[in-house]
């Protein structure tokens, strides 16, 4: 991923990336995105990076010996600290749909940011809203007050978050709309596809935003728009 593509992806929202992937592929039908409504700690921010994946649980206390739990926790943080950058943490909560343990709060978000991650995507719980660090958005399944018995189950194997399967190294884009995985075969053409998408959208937006048009004008505008897009 080039620096210019990275900068562009950081500026645009996830629906734009979703549409641009179809422009790059030359067809409709891209479906590697989350399902359902998600919540974002920083609605104006997007995260983009290569996934570092893990699974957690919190409803019940872990049954493994304390030393094993601590070792797994440190192994998790070591895993998050490695891999290609930029990176995002993608963590599946095994308790969903009954998740109660907020893994993503003031402490853990600051730790992950310090380890070089750009944000977190989870179907689990976040908390400490208002105290999370700037530049580290969390896109989560719910908000709650407690951490429960939250503990790491495993890391490094593919996870599923709101219907989206993510593996270590997948390029993820996420914001308040949800998340997606960018197919590897479009990365080289995605920047151009986004610019093409913007050009197509401007045909309609420049002609309609803060203006009044009649139906005949609309038909001509829409014909030009359809001819310009996938």
Q: Is 52 labelled a binding residue?
A: no
State the angle between helix axes of 187-208 and 3-11 in degrees (0 to 180), rounded to the nearest 10: 40
Contact 183, 64 (CB under 8 A): no
Three-state DSSP class for 166?
strand
State the angle between helix axes of 14-25 and 187-208 in degrees (0 to 180), rounded to the nearest 10: 110
Q: Is 175 labelled a binding residue?
A: no
DSSP characters over 194-222? HHHHHHHHHHHHHHHTT----HHHHHHHH
- Which stretches within the chain are classed as H helix? 3-11, 14-25, 66-81, 106-114, 187-208, 215-228
Of the CA atoms within 13 Å of residue 211, those in its CB half-sphere come to: 11
Mark the binding-site residues, compressed into ranges: 127-128
Mark the binding-site residues for substrate, compressed into ranges: 127
Mark the binding-site residues for Mg(2+), compressed into ranges: 128
């Amino acid at each position: 991923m080039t620096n210019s593509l990275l900068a562009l992806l950081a500026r645009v929202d996830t629906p734009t990336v979703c549409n641009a992937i179809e422009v790059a592929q030359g067809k409709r039908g891209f479906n590697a995105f989350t399902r359902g409504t998600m919540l974002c700690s920083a609605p104006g921010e997007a995260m983009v990076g290569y996934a570092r994946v893990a699974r957690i649980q919190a409803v019940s206390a872990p049954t493994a010996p304390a030393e094993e739990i601590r070792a797994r926790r440190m192994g998790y943080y070591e895993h998050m600290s490695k891999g290609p950058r930029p990176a995002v943490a993608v963590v599946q909560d095994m308790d969903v749909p009954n998740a109660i343990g907020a893994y993503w709060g003031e402490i853990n978000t600051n730790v992950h940011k310090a380890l070089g991650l750009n944000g977190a995507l989870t179907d689990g719980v976040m908390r400490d809203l208002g105290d999370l660090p700037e530049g580290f958005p969390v896109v989560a399944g719910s908000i709650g007050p407690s951490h429960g018995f939250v503990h790491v189950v495993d890391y490094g194997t593919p996870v599923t978050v709101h219907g989206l399967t993510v593996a270590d190294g997948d390029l993820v884009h996420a914001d308040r709309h949800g998340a997606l995985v960018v197919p590897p075969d479009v990365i080289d053409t995605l920047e151009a596809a986004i610019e093409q998408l913007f050009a197509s959208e401007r045909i309609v937006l420049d002609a309609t935003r803060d203006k009044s048009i009649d139906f005949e004008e609309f038909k001509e505008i829409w014909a030009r728009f359809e001819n310009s897009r996938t």
